[in-house]
Structure 1
Amino acid sequence: MNPIRILVADDHPVVRAGLAGLLNSQPDFEVVGEAANGAEALALVEKLRPQVVLMDLRMPQMDGVTAIRQIRSHHPKTHVLVLTTYDSDSEIVRAVEAGATGYLLKDVPREELFRAVRLCARGEAVLSPPVAARLLGRMRGPAEENLSTRELEVLTLVAKGYSNKEVARALKISEATVKTHLLHTFGKLGVDDRTAAVTAALERGILRLEG
């Protein structure tokens, strides 16, 4: 089985080196390149075609959000996992809307980082618990009122075992749109992955599955 090809984008050389060493300690990971800014990241994605880009948000020349938007537009098979110290609501929402597959904070435990990289490589959305909590705090009123009709449709299909690709095909929307709906749903439910979202929605009566 081929390792997951990863590009690390961060403007601090020590952080890049540390992340590369940490990720390369896993037998199923291979760090194929490092970028010091968003423009460099975009050029290296074009050249190296990684499956996952680990992306900081605030970098010189081209910021992370702009780079995410460009990467997702030109290289839809490359998924971007944000890894940053910034947890403001606006930063999170901007990154998600630009097409980030996941959003983690830099104090994340290493095992959670490894798990998130593996999920992102499969195109599955993931939020670290503090980020999910921030998004949840942003929502007003009970979660039931805040899940849109489309978010419920997506979550219902996920509960039935559909992959993101199958959900996209069934609802005639793009995979990127499916991921965005899932990330918003995670934030509203205060969870960090698909399984937890389905479990929480069923427990709260938001989601009801026939049979």
Structure 2
Amino acid sequence: MTTTPIRSASAVPDTDRPIRPAGGIRVLLADSHPVVRRVLVDLFEETDDITVVGECGSGEELLPTAIRTRPHVVLVDPTLPGTDPLEAVRELLDVLPSARIAVHAGAFCLVTSHRAQRLGAVGYLLKGDDLADLPQRVRELADGGSVWCAPPADRGR
């Protein structure tokens, strides 16, 4: 079942940064599944404004890869092995505060969603939602918005 993510009321672009990054949106993919990363790379290659600048498969790789690639948007699987990926999100935002980070999960988890939001994430997306919608979600994040999928009880309403 495809859902339309809920945009938070605070989805107002930051005034301290450009609405759309010059030269396109730089994305970092943090997912332990190489096939998922490959599908996302292929998806974003079909756009003219989104470029995957880095990939990592563990929590330990997230911060160094982000520092090296300077992404605008980071999609993080909360089940990355190794270092807690949500703690890595907090550390990443300490170093790159303008990065827009969204959890990209296989299933919805209210605890993970709340924790990610507290740590500075600006979105929670589901891998099972319509893949064709993901580039637009990344654009919304890069533009300063927030994209949060609806909890299972709210889906289809």
Structure 2 length as normaliser, TM-score? 0.79
Query: RMSD of aligned C-alpha atoms?
Result: 1.9
The structure where helix makes up a greater share of residues is 1
Question: The residue matched to 1:54 in structure 2 has which SS?
Answer: strand
Does the Cα contact within 8 Å between 2:110 and 2:151 map onto a contact in 1? no
Aligned length: 135
Match of 2:79 among 58, 62, 70: 58
Please give the alpha-carbon distance, in whole angstroms, between the structure 2 residues aligned to 1:20 and 1:78.
Answer: 19
**Structure 2 unaligned runs (5+)?**
1-21
Give the greater-gyration-radius structure (CA).
1
Query: Does 1:39 find its partner at 2:60?
Result: yes
Structure with the bigger RCO (C-alpha within 8 Å, sep 6+) is 2
Shift of 1:72: 1.3
Please give the alpha-carbon distance, in whole angstroms, between the structure 1 residues aligned to 2:92 and 2:24.
Answer: 21
Amino-acid identity (%):
37
Match of 2:36 among 7, 10, 15: 15
Query: Does 1:68 find its partner at 2:76?
Result: no
Structure 1 length as normaliser, TM-score? 0.60
Shift of 1:131: 6.4
Query: Does 1:124 find its partner at 2:148?
Result: no
Mapping of 1:127-142 within 5 angstroms? 127-130=148-151, 133=154
Does the Cα contact within 8 Å between 1:104 and 1:131 map onto a contact in 2? no
Query: Does 1:26 find its partner at 2:18?
Result: no
4+ runs of 1 displaced by more than 2 Å? 128-134
Does the Cα contact within 8 Å between 2:28 and 2:55 map onto a contact in 1? yes
Shift of 1:64: 2.1
Shift of 1:97: 0.9
Match of 1:48 among 69, 72, 76: 69
Which residue of structure 2 aligns with residue 141 of structure 1? none
Shift of 1:36: 0.6
